[in-house]
Structure 1
Amino acid sequence: MIQVAPILLLSLLSITFLQSGYDKIKDWKGNVSWLKGHFSGTIFANTVPLALFIILILEIFSGVLCVSGIIELFSNQTTEVGYYGAILSCITLLFLLFGQRIAKDYDGARTIVIYFIPAIIAVYLLG
């Protein structure tokens, strides 16, 4: 029997990270420019492009693993790839949370936590 809850959670994570990654690629300069202001006066002030690139890679890999996990659930009803996608999603969100806290953007940090909750649930259900 196909597990609906993990598929829905992996779908949420896939959409979140693949769209975010696409946005970073599509408007790289705009993102770098905005983030330089966001992180001015922090330890990331001089490393914004590198930090953004790391986040981009994490988001793309998270999204791809989650999509692959959905395919795996449909094709052979195993959860290994989805499990690793959910774990990487949590790690990615922790990186984002760390950045928001460093920037003292507490509303942004709160938003990250909203995404973290379903990611943790996905890890639990797929583990």
Structure 2
Amino acid sequence: MNYFTTYIAEILILIFILITFLQSGIDKAMDWKGNTGWLKEHFANTFLANQVPLMVGILMIIEVITGILAILGIIWFIAYGESSFGLYACVLAAITLLMLLFGQRVAKDYAGAFTITGYFVVVIFGVYIMS
């Protein structure tokens, strides 16, 4: 348990990633129709309009994998003081956020794109301290 206090910042970042991405991935799975419907409208006037179900599916899978990696990262930090799974979770979270940022910018939802910045700062800090 000595590792818990040693790596508390890393563990808190991974808990943040876990809550953010696993909840989002599960929500997409549980409310597929609602999510795809809203996003079809969101991207209606863009070149991504016909790709919404594929994009939501890819994001859902990546978000769930990111959440699972965050769980493994937390366990590995507490049990072994080892950062590899935590780093993988942070990197995959950063890639996911860049994908979301791209979509928001294409849809000209600049306020939505700006919101992603706060998440990205936390995740990049995680990449920095875990690498």
With structure 1 as the length reference, what TM-score do the two structures score? Answer: 0.98
The aligned residue for residue 83 of structure 1 is 87
Structure 1 runs of 4+ with >4 Å offset: none
Q: Spell out the pairing of 1:10-89 with structure 2 (5 A cutoff).
A: 10-89=14-93
1:7 aligns with one of 11, 14, 20? 11
1:41, distance to aligned residue in structure 2 (A): 1.2
Tell me, in whole angstroms, the C-alpha distance in 1 between the residues paired with 2:71 and 2:60: 17
Q: Spell out the pairing of 1:97-112 with structure 2 (5 A cutoff).
A: 97-112=101-116
SS of match in other structure, 2:50: coil
- Listed as ranges, the gaps of 5+ residues in structure 2 are none
The one-letter code of the counterpart of 1:91 is I
Tell me, in whole angstroms, the C-alpha distance in 1 between the residues paired with 2:84 and 2:54: 30
1:126, distance to aligned residue in structure 2 (A): 0.5
> % of aligned pairs identical?
50
The aligned residue for residue 114 of structure 1 is 118
With structure 2 as the length reference, what TM-score do the two structures score? Answer: 0.95
Tell me, in whole angstroms, the C-alpha distance in 2 between the residues paired with 1:96 and 1:62: 14
RMSD: 0.7
1:50, distance to aligned residue in structure 2 (A): 0.3
- Listed as ranges, the gaps of 5+ residues in structure 1 are none
Q: Deviations over 1:75-111 (max 9, x none)?
A: 1110011111100000010000000000000111011
In the alignment of these two chains, the number of paired residues is: 127
Tell me, in whole angstroms, the C-alpha distance in 2 between the residues paired with 1:103 and 1:42: 6
Tell me, in whole angstroms, the C-alpha distance in 2 between the residues paired with 1:80 and 1:23: 27
Tell me, in whole angstroms, the C-alpha distance in 2 between the residues paired with 1:119 and 1:28: 26
